[in-house]
Chains A and B, each alone.
Chain A
Amino acid sequence: MSDVRQSASPASSSPSSDRVAPRRTGGFDLGHILLEGRAFFALIAIIVIFAMLSPVYFSTANFLTMSSHVAIFGLLSIGMLLVILTGGIDLSVGSTMGLAGVMAGFLMQGVSVDAFGVTLYPPVWAVVVLTCVLGAFVGMINGVLVSIFRVPAFVATLGTLYVARGAALLMTDGLTYNNLSGNPELGNTGFDWLGFNRLFNVPVGVLIFAAVAIVCMFALNRTPFGRWVYATGGNARAAELSGVPVKRVQIWVYVLSGVCAAIAGLVLSSQLTSAGPTAGTTYELTAIAGVVIGGAALTGGRGNVRGTLLGAFVIGFLSDGLVIIGVSSYWQTVFMGAVIVLAVLLNSIQYKPRKKRTASTENQKASSPSGPA
Chain B
Amino acid sequence: MSSANSVMDRSTISGSKTGDVVLSARNVAKSFGSVHALKSVNFDIRRGQVTTLFGENGAGKSTLMKILSGVMQPSAGEIVLDGESVRFSSTVDAQRHGISIIHQELSLAPNMNVRDNIFMGRELGGPGGVDYAGEARETERLMAELDEPIDPMTLVEDLRLGQQQIVEIARALSVNSRILIMDEPTSALSASEVEVLFRVIEDLKSRGVSIVYISHHLEEALTITDHAVVLRDGAMTAWAERREIDLEWIVRHMVGENFDLGSPPTGYEMGEVALSFDNISVADVAVPERSVVDRLSLAVRAGEIVCIYGLMGAGRTELLECAAGRVPASDGRIMLEGEDISGLSIAERIERGLVLVPEDRQRDGLVQTMAVGENLSLASIGAFTRGFLTSRAREQNVIEDSIRNVHIKTDGGAAGIGSLSGGNQQKVVIGKMLATRPRVVILDEPSRGIDIGAKAEVFRLLAEGASKGLAVIYSTSEVGECLSVAHRIVVMSRGRISAEFGADVSREEIMAASGESVAG
Contacts and interface: CB of A to CB of B under 8 A. Distances in A.
Interface string A1-34: 1011111011001011111110100000000000
Interface stretch (B128-136, B274-282, B364-372): B364-372
Given A223-B389, A237-B364, A243 B347 contact: yes
Interface in B287-331: 324, 326
B453 A17 contact: yes
A18 B414 contact: no
Residue among A13, A300, A358 with most chain B CB within 10 A: A358
Given A240-B346, A359-B416, A21 B356 contact: no
Contacts of B452: 15, 17
Contacts of B363: 235, 237-238
B364 A358 contact: no
B42 A7 contact: yes
A352 interface: no
Interface in A170-225: 218, 222-224
Contacts of A123: none
Label chain B's interface by main secondary structure: mixed
A245 interface: yes
A346 to B, nearest CB: 18
A110 interface: no
Interface in B364-414: 364-371, 374, 377-379, 381-382, 385, 388-390, 392, 409-411, 414
A301 B417 CA distance: 14
A301 B370 contact: yes
B368 A234 contact: yes
Contact of B12 (A3, A233, A361): A3
A251 B417 CA distance: 28
Given A359-B416, A362-B415, A224 B390 contact: yes
A266 B111 CA distance: 48
B454 A230 contact: no
B418 interface: yes
Contact of B239 (A6, A21, A231, A242): A6
Given A9-B236, A15-B259, A241-B356, 20 more contacts: A5-B10, A5-B240, A6-B7, A6-B236, A6-B239, A7-B42, A13-B36, A15-B453, A17-B423, A17-B451, A20-B410, A223-B385, A227-B381, A230-B369, A240-B346, A243-B351, A243-B379, A244-B347, A244-B378, A301-B368
Interface of B: 7-8, 10-13, 16, 18, 27, 33-36, 39-43, 232-233, 235-240, 259, 324, 326, 345-347, 350-351, 356, 358, 363-371, 374, 377-379, 381-382, 385, 388-390, 392, 409-411, 414-421, 423-424, 427, 432-433, 436, 450-454, 457
29 contacts: A1-B18, A3-B13, A5-B10, A5-B11, A5-B43, A5-B240, A6-B7, A7-B235, A15-B259, A16-B35, A16-B451, A18-B453, A20-B421, A21-B419, A223-B388, A231-B367, A231-B370, A235-B363, A238-B365, A241-B326, A241-B346, A241-B356, A242-B350, A242-B433, A243-B436, A301-B367, A301-B370, A362-B415, A365-B374
